[in-house]
């Protein structure tokens, strides 16, 4: 039972840390271009440089 005294605040702290990191990423525009990275991986830059 005494371990819960340490585990519950640690879990709450880690959850708050993860939530604050997600909110920071959301406010800094990390999720603005969702399709760009998915399409960028399909582009072969070597073919365009040779032409």
Question: pLDDT tens across 4-33, in order?
Answer: 999 999 999 999 999 999 999 999 988 888
- Total residues found in the chain within this entry: 51
Whole-number pLDDT of residue 15: 98
Cα 17 to the center of its chain, rounded Å: 13
Contact 25, 31 (CB under 8 A): yes
33: left (phi over 0), alpha (psi -120 to 50) or beta: beta
Looking at the whole model, is its pTM more than 0.85?
Answer: no
Whole-number pLDDT of residue 28: 94
Mean pLDDT across the stretch 40-48? 74
CA distance 4 to 49: 60
Whole-number pLDDT of residue 7: 98
Whole-number pLDDT of residue 23: 97
């Amino acid at each position: 039972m005494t371990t819960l005294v340490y585990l519950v605040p640690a879990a709450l702290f880690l959850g708050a840390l993860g939530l604050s990191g997600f909110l920071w990423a959301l406010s800094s525009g990390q999720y603005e271009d969702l399709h760009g990275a998915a399409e960028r991986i399909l582009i072969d830059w070597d073919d365009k440089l040779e032409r």
